[in-house]
């Protein structure tokens, strides 16, 4: 965490709009600004780990982070992929609990850290930010309920389609860039099964793959696959 930090300013942060910090006025932003610390993280570095106590929250300025839970036998279940503008790690802090998930960078990242005390006191004082957090929690709760439904009721093929659509949203114009194992751990299946299904979708012309990278070609058909 301590290596190589380059401070960006919240006021001029290009990611700020995406996040709820976008809802803050200049005052609120500069409050956060004065307390945060930016750092550069290489691929595969941990932001935090399941079972430890939170010391603050992370705001992603650039790069992507996987949020996952390790099940029995060390198998990871990816719950979410966070990207630029996302605030990460506030759940455990607000619950005054240990982290129930882990967070690791998927690529080189610029990430700002806001210490617990600063964040909590800003939240306490700033109703706008507070409501933003409450809404974010609520929104995520609904998303997860949907995710549960998908995982519980759909076939692996359908789930893969769902996940590809989610990832398309996250990676925007870029091709999806995840290891097959990570992808399998998101879909909740064996790596081999995932590979076979990817091949099918490629042959059907819905996606294209270049070694590790995946591009969604026909989102509409993917939606159809995800539902039936």
Q: Which does 228 bind (CB under 5 to 8 A by kind): its own copies, DNA, none?
A: its own copies
Q: Which does 180 bind (CB under 5 to 8 A by kind): its own copies, DNA, none?
A: DNA
Q: Which does 211 bind (CB under 5 to 8 A by kind): DNA, its own copies, none?
A: DNA
Q: Bridge partners of 52?
A: none
Q: With beta carbons less than 8 A apart as the criterion, state whether 137 and 147 touch.
A: no
List 31, 157, 176, 206, residue binding DNA (CB under 7 A): 157
Task: Considering only the stretches 26-34, 70-78, 164-172, 173-181, report the one whose residues sit in contact with its own copies under the rule CB under 8 A.
Answer: 70-78
Q: Which is nearer to its own copies, 18 or 79 (CB)?
A: 79
The region that residue 18 occupies, defined by phi over 0 for left and psi between -120 and 50 for alpha, beta otherwise, is alpha
For position 72 contacting its own copies by CB under 8 A, the verdict is yes
Q: Which does 138 bind (CB under 5 to 8 A by kind): DNA, its own copies, none?
A: its own copies
List 32, 92, 162, 207, residue binding its own copies (CB under 8 A): 92
| Dihedral sign for Cα atoms in the order 139, 56, 12, 39 | negative
For position 71 contacting its own copies by CB under 8 A, the verdict is yes
Q: Alpha-carbon distance 64 to 81, whole Å?
A: 7
Output Rg (C-alpha) for the chain, integer angstroms.
Answer: 18
Q: What is the DSSP string of 151-218?
A: HHHS-HHHHHHHHHHHHHHHHTTSPEE--HHHHHHHHTS-HHHHHHHHHHHHHTTSEEEETTEEEES-
Using CB under 7 A, which residues numbered 163 to 192 contact DNA?
179-181, 188-192
Q: Which is nearer to its own copies, 140 or 218 (CB)?
A: 140
For position 155 contacting DNA by CB under 7 A, the verdict is yes
Q: With beta carbons less than 8 A apart as the criterion, state whether 58 and 87 touch.
A: yes
Q: Which does 141 bind (CB under 5 to 8 A by kind): DNA, its own copies, none?
A: its own copies
Q: Which is nearer to DNA, 175 or 188 (CB)?
A: 188
């Amino acid at each position: 965490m301590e290596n190589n930090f380059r401070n960006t300013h919240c006021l001029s942060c290009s990611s700020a709009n995406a996040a709820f910090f976008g809802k803050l006025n200049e005052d609120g932003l500069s409050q956060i600004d004065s307390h945060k610390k930016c750092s550069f993280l290489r691929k595969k570095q941990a932001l935090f780990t399941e079972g430890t106590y939170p010391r603050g929250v992370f705001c992603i300025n650039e790069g992507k982070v996987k949020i996952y839970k390790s099940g029995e036998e060390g198998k990871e279940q990816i719950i979410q992929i966070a990207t630029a503008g996302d605030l990460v790690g506030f759940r455990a802090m607000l619950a005054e609990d240990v982290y129930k998930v882990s967070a690791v960078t998927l690529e080189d990242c610029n990430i700002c850290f806001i210490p617990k005390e600063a964040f909590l006191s800003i939240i306490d004082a700033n109703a706008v930010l507070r409501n933003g957090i409450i809404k974010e929690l609520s929104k995520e709760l609904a998303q997860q309920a949907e995710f549960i439904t998908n995982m519980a009721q759909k076939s692996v093929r359908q789930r893969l389609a769902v996940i590809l659509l989610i990832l398309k949203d996250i990676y925007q114009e870029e091709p999806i860039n995840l290891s097959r194992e990570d992808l399998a751990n998101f879909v909740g299946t064996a790596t081999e099964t995932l590979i076979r299904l990817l091949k099918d979708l490629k042959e059907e012309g819905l996606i294209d793959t270049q070694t590790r990278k995946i591009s969604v070609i026909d989102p509409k058909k993917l939606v159809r696959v995800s539902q039936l």
